């Protein structure tokens, strides 16, 4: 990706985070990025394509800042990955806010739905893959359903992120709730004949 294209996408994400999808003006994105409007159309073709590319860029940036550092087990990796979505960092805040705005816009903008669906599916799958690795290394109960766990944890992360961004809960509270949710999700996995989950 060229530096100019990256600057345009960063500007688009910042604008969406602050003004929403409806507040995104191509001219404003160009001005913020210090380039001509023509360059936006050269790289993206139209506003709809710019929005889709902004979604893809959000996912790319999230992949970078949610990478766990020195996890000793898949369970630790799962916790670190989820907690990576809530950090006192402007890039993370912008990413989370823009993701929420684009997700909400997809309620009415059906052109955004396929890209959003693909990225959400990938996010779910990424967490499900970590759960599977945890079942292999013994850090996650064998009876946990990886796909359901991925779906529930991504949905919970989105919901807590919205409250965090709105200032309804602090960063520490949001991260604590997410960490507790992972524990409940994994330890509360259904067991045959209603047997309680074994402590880890």
Q: How many CB atoms lie under 10 A from the CB of residue 152?
A: 15
**Contact residues for 120 (Cβ-Cβ < 8 A; gap 6+):** 154
The pLDDT tens digits of the residues spanning 156-175 come to 999 999 999 999 999 999 99
The pLDDT tens digits of the residues spanning 134-150 come to 999 999 999 999 999 99
Which helix (H) or strand (E) covers residue 126, if one does?
helix 113-137
pLDDT of the residue at 194: 46
The Cβ-side half-sphere exposure at 188, using a 13 Å CA radius, reads 9
Give residue for tokens 């959000």.
58
Q: Which portions of the chain are predicted below pLDDT 70?
A: 189-200
CATH topology of domain 52-190: Tetracycline Repressor; domain 2 (1.10.357)
The domains of the chain are located at 52-190
**Contact residues for 15 (Cβ-Cβ < 8 A; gap 6+):** 23, 24, 25, 28, 29, 32
């Amino acid at each position: 990706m060229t530096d100019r294209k990256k600057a345009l996408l960063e500007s688009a994400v910042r604008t969406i985070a602050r003004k929403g999808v409806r507040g995104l003006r191509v001219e404003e994105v160009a001005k913020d990025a210090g380039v001509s409007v023509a360059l936006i159309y050269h790289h993206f073709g139209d506003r709809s394509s710019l929005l889709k590319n902004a979604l893809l860029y959000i996912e790319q940036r999230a992949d970078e800042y949610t990478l766990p550092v020195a996890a000793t087990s898949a369970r630790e990796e799962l916790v670190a990955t989820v907690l990576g979505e809530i950090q006192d960092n402007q890039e993370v805040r912008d990413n989370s806010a823009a993701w929420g705005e684009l997700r909400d816009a997809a309620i009415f903008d059906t052109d955004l739905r396929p890209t959003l669906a693909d990225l959400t599916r990938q996010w779910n799958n990424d967490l499900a893959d970590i759960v599977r690795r945890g079942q292999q290394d013994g850090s996650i109960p064998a009876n946990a359903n990886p796909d359901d766990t991925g779906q529930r944890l991504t949905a919970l992360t989105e919901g807590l992120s919205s409250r965090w961004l709105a200032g309804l809960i602090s960063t520490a509270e949001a991260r604590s709730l997410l960490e507790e949710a992972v524990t409940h999700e994994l330890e509360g996995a259904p067991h045959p004949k209603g047997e309680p989950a074994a402590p880890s």
